[in-house]
Amino acid sequence: MTEQAMELKTRKLNLPVEKITKLHIPKLYLEAKVTLMKHGCSVTEGEEGCILEFPQGTTREMSYRANISDVLIITLPDGYKLQEIYDRFQKKSCLHYTKE
């Protein structure tokens, strides 16, 4: 893929960092819940997914925008980072985390 084609496919954005308090996501595996709770998050499960509440001071910033989705980095106050993939057409988020 040429550099120009890559630039059209993914565009780096310089948007401001925003504060985030909660996020609606699909259901989480137990391991993910435990990891997130260790970092001060709370998880409320519903029929269609979870509400993930972040500790005060959590921030989110756009990493880049791809064809159909945005990739955002969520940083918790203790420095732990999560990656949010937001599908702009379905208006749904998927969360990626690292195992400890």
d(CA 46, CA 38) in angstroms, rounded, equals: 21
Amino acid (1-letter code) at residue 78: D
Q: What's the pLDDT tens digit per position in 18-32?
A: 999 999 999 999 999
Look at the chain and report how many structural domains it folds into: 1
Q: What's the pLDDT tens digit per position in 36-73?
A: 999 999 999 988 899 999 999 999 998 888 888 999 99
More confident residue, 20 or 7: 20
More confident residue, 97 or 55: 55
Range(s) of the domain holding residue 36: 3-96
What are the respective helix, strand and coil percentages of the chain, to the nearest 5?
15, 45, 40
* 4 band by pLDDT with thresholds 50, 70 and 90: very low
